[in-house]
Amino acid sequence: MKAHRHHHPRVVVITGASAGVGRATVREFAREGAWIGLVARSRDGLEGARKEVEAAGGRALVLPTDVAYPDQVEAAAAMVERRFGPIDVWVNNAMASVLSPALKMTAEEYQRVTDVTYLGYVYGTLAALRRMVPRDVGVIVQVGSALAYRSIPLQSAYCGAKHAVQGFVDSLRSELLHDGSRVHITTVQLPAVNTPQFDWIKSRMPCHPQPVPPIYQPEVIARAIVWASRHRRREISIGLPTVKAIVGQKFIPGLLDYYLAWKGYKAQQTNEPIAPDRPNNLFHPLPGDHGAHGGFDEGAYEFSLQLWLNQRRLWVAAAALAVGGYLAKGLSTRRNDRRWDGEPFSPTGGTTRSAREQAARQGGLYA
């Protein structure tokens, strides 16, 4: 097992690999020469991803798969291990959503979003664990969302699924700790990201869907996912908006209810009208290779200072302690100087520094 890990590229499986965050993550792993199992429904997108991996020097296996079906997920995992060897990293990323008021949603839509966005993670995680636990090594990265903590209007199915993933992972993590397993599960919580999903999610709203600003580029997320696959963090949040959503939900959930009721509808739509019957990918993939980026490149952030600091939190804490100690020492010195200058004699009857200097001047020691 050690020989595989030291002398061969990492073997990685990525669900939702054909577009968006998954596609950007494929490219990021490919830069390190990983061998990647590409899991998604869209063969066009998977073939485009395969070419990018091979151009970067890695190897790729195209695995058209609907993660809503556990037998397909299991078959994809088995194929990866037959072709590439033991899976080192499994990234659950596939998702589906509907932009719609809850009362206009159908049972079939709730079922589909839940099957992909929640149960797809469950099936992927279990397929990975069945292989990793006996070897006592491996990493599973769950691509989460700030919406796993703070739900927003018009995405009740998606938010519910992300909350469910959070509960599933917390429970499973405790079981692995109980068993003494070294398999690691981590969650990367996302902000709004510029991906093609807003061009194809089903919507009942009058205008084109958009991510709630501020928006980050998918490459920011991809770098964080690859970083998380190498560091044993329980969870990592990307972007200050994600942190604000998580903290806000803990302390002011009621206020956020009213704020999102006021702002949440407009924040998720542009001013561009769309046809109510526009094509969507809820039940079937759309043709073509859609890549990693959506239509919101302008103004999207390519760097997260919050993430950069988070990744270096021990150094940041050490630097903060050093600066705090330096400032405290300086403040203490200033207070001591003021005490010497304001008291001509010490409490014990001896002269202070100011009194000694005055006596020295009178004795002609100073010009």
Cite the active site residues: 158
DSSP per residue, 299-367: T-BS--HHHHHHHTHHHHHHHHHHHHHHHHHHHHHHHHHHHHHH-SB-TTS-B-HHHHHHHHHHTT---
CB 214, CB 191: distance < 8 Å? yes
Which sign, positive or negative, has the C-alpha torsion 85, 86, 89, 94? positive
CB 124, CB 92: distance < 8 Å? yes
Cis bond upstream, residue 206 (ω within 30) = no
Rg (alpha carbons) of the chain, rounded to whole number:
28
Spatial CA neighbour of 156 closest among 210, 215, 100: 100
Helix (H, G, I), strand (E, B) or coil at 198: helix
Q: CA angle, 179 as apex, 88 and 140 as ends, to 5°? A: 25
Distance CA 78, CA 122 (A): 17
Site of tokens 């969870």: 235
- Give the CA distances from residue 33 to residues 12, 30, 57, 130, 143, in Å, rounded to whole numbers and listed in that order: 11, 5, 6, 25, 22
Crossing angle for the helix pair 43-55 and 20-31, to the nearest 10 degrees = 20
CB 162, CB 207: distance < 8 Å? no
Burial of 268 (0-12, 13-18, 19+ CB in 10 A): buried
